[in-house]
Amino acid sequence: MTPWVKRLLIANVGIFLLQLAFPELTGMLALVPARVLSTPWSPLTYMFIHGGFWHILFNMIVLYFFGPRVEERLGSNRFIALYLIAGFTGALFSAFTPYVAILGASGAVLGVELAYARYWPLDRVYIYGVLPIQMRWLIVLTVVMSIAGLGGFEPGIAHYAHLGGLLGAAIFLYVIEHTRARPAKSGVVRAEVRQPPAPRGDDMKRWATIPRGELHEINRHEVDRLLDKISLKGINSLTPSERAALDRFSKQKS
């Protein structure tokens, strides 16, 4: 379990229990786009309340299974930024239904699911535990169902929030993957271009002793993939983010 996934699970479950004890909280924390000026907190708080047991169970299962590997890949700061941006763009798109109360972590969680599909598109998941589908096609199916929902399919589902969360996550991932140092204009002092540090010999020794048995299954698969990459292409084939991921795994304690 990674840090932000654990915190988000605790926060969502804790607030859901408060909803059960104090039902009036749901109306106070839900997002009604037309009333957002009088409830400026709602674009954030709507992500942490749910409409029932099955609603929160589905969202938390998705977060639990996909979140840790995404957080390990992106790092904790970028992971929570991805989650919140997906949630906020979900709130923004909900303006298309201005008088409907929106609640649930679905937009934010779908942002995490999109990131997982971006980095591990061929991984298989099982819908309802029996129907296998690759992650890339699961995202396509989600988008198709959400667009169909705008025409009346699955009433009661916040389809605009789903599409907004997916779009916000896609933009965020594009930005962090394509941001590069820009060369200085002529006549201006040149910016120094820093190269990533070359791997040291002791890095491989440390990575080889990563406690794989103590890792979550999906993180263990990621370690295996990176070590296999080193075996096939050499240690210099690792990207800076991949080296950072192995460093985080090597420091993980049971």
Three-state SS string over the chain comes to CCHHHHHHHHHHHHHHHHHHHCCHHHHHHCECHHHCCCCCCHHHHHHHCCCCHHHHHHHHHHHHHHHHHHHHHHCHHHHHHHHHHHHHHHHHHHHHCCCCCECCCHHHHHHHHHHHHHHCCCCEEEECCCEEEEHHHHHHHHHHHHHHHCCCCCCCCCHHHHHHHHHHHHHHHHHHHHCCCCCCCCCCCCCCCCCCCCCCHHHHHHHHCCCHHHCCHHHHHHHHHHHHHHHHHCHHHCCHHHHHHHHHHHHCCC
pLDDT of residue 254: 40
Name the segment(s) of the chain with CATH classification 1.20.1540.10.
3-177
What average pLDDT is seen over the chain?
87
pLDDT of residue 31: 97
Share of the chain above pLDDT 70, in %: 89
pLDDT of residue 231: 74
Q: What is the pLDDT of residues 37-54, one digit of tens each?
A: 999 999 999 999 999 999
pLDDT of residue 180: 57
Look at 11-25, 56-70, 151-165, 222-236 and tell me which has the smallest mean pLDDT.
222-236
Which CATH homologous superfamily contains domain 3-177? Rhomboid-like (1.20.1540.10)
pLDDT at residue 164 above 90?
A: yes
pLDDT of residue 213: 76
The arithmetic mean of pLDDT across residues 5-27, rounded, is: 97
Q: What is the pLDDT of residues 83-109, one digit of tens each?
A: 999 999 999 999 999 999 999 999 999
The arithmetic mean of pLDDT across residues 15-39, rounded, is: 97
pLDDT at residue 138 above 70?
A: yes
pLDDT at residue 221 above 90?
A: no
